[in-house]
Amino acid sequence: MSKKAIITGITGQDGFYLSDLLLKQNIQVIGIKRRTSLINSTARIDSLINNNNFSVVQGDLSDSFFLNNLINQNKPDYIFNLAAMSHVKTSFDIPIHTGDINAIGTIRLLDAIRTNNLSNKTRFYQASTSEMFGNNSKKKLNEQSKLEPVSPYGASKLYAYNITKIYRQSYNIFACNGILFNHESPLRGETFVTRKIVRGAVSIVKNKSSFIELGNLNSVRDWGHAKDYCEAMIKIIMYKKPDDFVISSDKVFSVREFCKKVFNYLGLEIKFVGKGLNEVAIVTKSEKYPHLINKKIIKVNKKYFRPLDLNYLRGNSAKAKKILKWKPKINIDQLVSEMINYDLDLID
Ligand code: NAP
Ligand code: GDD
């Protein structure tokens, strides 16, 4: 009999990549999707719907009764908890909902494993995050680094990380944390900064818009590809013992540098001038799009700043490399080109 996995957050970016990888390993996937007023919330996973090993049920991480029943009926081998209110800036606007889904949602799942006596059967993966670290100056962050989040999202995820460890230690549940740094792809949500920049730049060269508005350009992130990071999730949950692992590329770029990479790939050289809210990026050179030379294609708007931001995130994934034999295969330039080509096809 094939193994069975329940994935929460199936309709999200990682939901697709993880399902695709599990199905290729002949593992049955049951995804949880919440009810939406439009049917197209499954756009990312529509290509998987015809796979006999793939199914989707409607439910919500706020509903303990639903989660408990689903876990009781299916007695899964694996649960991957990917569902979350995952947007850091939005978590300042809806902090209570963020806590309910990200923190309490996690304990709802863990407690369903415990109360259904599945501690010896069901392995649990928690989608933990580098956002839990907070501002640690410019250190490379690993499993021992201090956790001092600076957002309601980070705080909710720290609760989930801790409760996952507590259920592992108290009830002997195979419960593990992947502490994943930012990972992107063509399927990244449109309001995260990488996809926003890519879509904005493609829209500019296609004459659909004239500039992109961004917030903190100084912010530095360690960006990888979601496919590589979902491979790591599987290695973590299938490892011989439950443990916590940092997953990162260990390389960093600022938002400003990411913008330059995107415009360069499209055939434009850009220069940032000015300071603070008056900073802009101007096109300095382009054989392909001469009409854009001297145009301001990036502006700063204070509405995209957060009350508190994490300014620098750089991982150290040595433990995963050593123990899980995991390493990322896709570098930032390949990521950028894949994202751009996808949006060049998508945007008319
Ligand atoms: P995402 O694209 O935002 O997907 C989040 C998923 O959670 C979506 O399927 C969403 O459903 C679902 N969801 C939200 N609230 C829910 C609720 N109340 N009940 C059931 N489902 C709900 O996020 P992602 O990038 O794939 O990330 C996956 C997980 O990894 C998240 O937990 C995120 O916090 C964490 N993480 C992500 C990164 C990263 O860089 N991507 C890094 C570290 C950790 P809808 O489609 O209906 O919105
Ligand atoms: N979203 C967004 N929009 N971010 C901007 C913008 C903008 O217009 N301008 C600058 N930024 C900066 C943010 O202030 C932040 O410092 C950085 O770009 C990255 O922002 P996001 O792409 O929104 O990602 P994030 O780092 O806040 O959170 C993502 O990564 C976490 C892992 O570290 C999310 O995927 C989280 O769910 C994930 O846990």
Residue-wise pLDDT for 200-249, tens only, equals: 999 999 999 999 999 999 999 999 999 999 999 999 999 999 999 999 99
Neighbours of 61 (CB within 10 A): 23
Q: Whose CA is nearest to atom 29 of ligand 1?
A: 82
Residue 85, ligand 1, Cβ within 6 A: yes
For residue 339, the model assigns a pLDDT of 98
Residue 129, ligand 2, Cβ within 6 A: yes
Please say whether the beta carbons of 241 and 316 come within 8 A.
no
Please say whether the beta carbons of 292 and 268 come within 8 A.
yes
Ligand 1 mutation pick, 41, 61, 86, max ligand atoms within 8 A of CB:
86
Domains, the chain: 4-185+223-251+312-329 (3.40.50.720), 193-218+255-310 (3.90.25.10)
Ligand 2 mutation pick, 88, 101, 233, 339, max ligand atoms within 8 A of CB:
88
- All residue ranges of the chain with pLDDT < 70 are none
User: Based on the number of CB atoms within 10 Å of its own CB, is 347 exposed (0-12), middle (13-18) or buried (19 or more)?
Assistant: middle
For residue 170, the model assigns a pLDDT of 98
Q: Whose CA is nearest to atom 8 of ligand 2?
A: 214
Ligand 2 atom, smallest distance to 217 CA: 10
For residue 1, the model assigns a pLDDT of 79
212: region left, alpha or beta (phi > 0 left; psi from -120 to 50 alpha)? beta
Ligand 2 atom, smallest distance to 151 CA: 27
For 107-141, write each residue's pLDDT tens digit: 999 999 999 999 999 999 999 999 999 887 889 99
For residue 57, the model assigns a pLDDT of 97
Residue 222, ligand 2, Cβ within 6 A: no
Residue 66, ligand 2, Cβ within 6 A: no
CA 69 to chain centre: 28
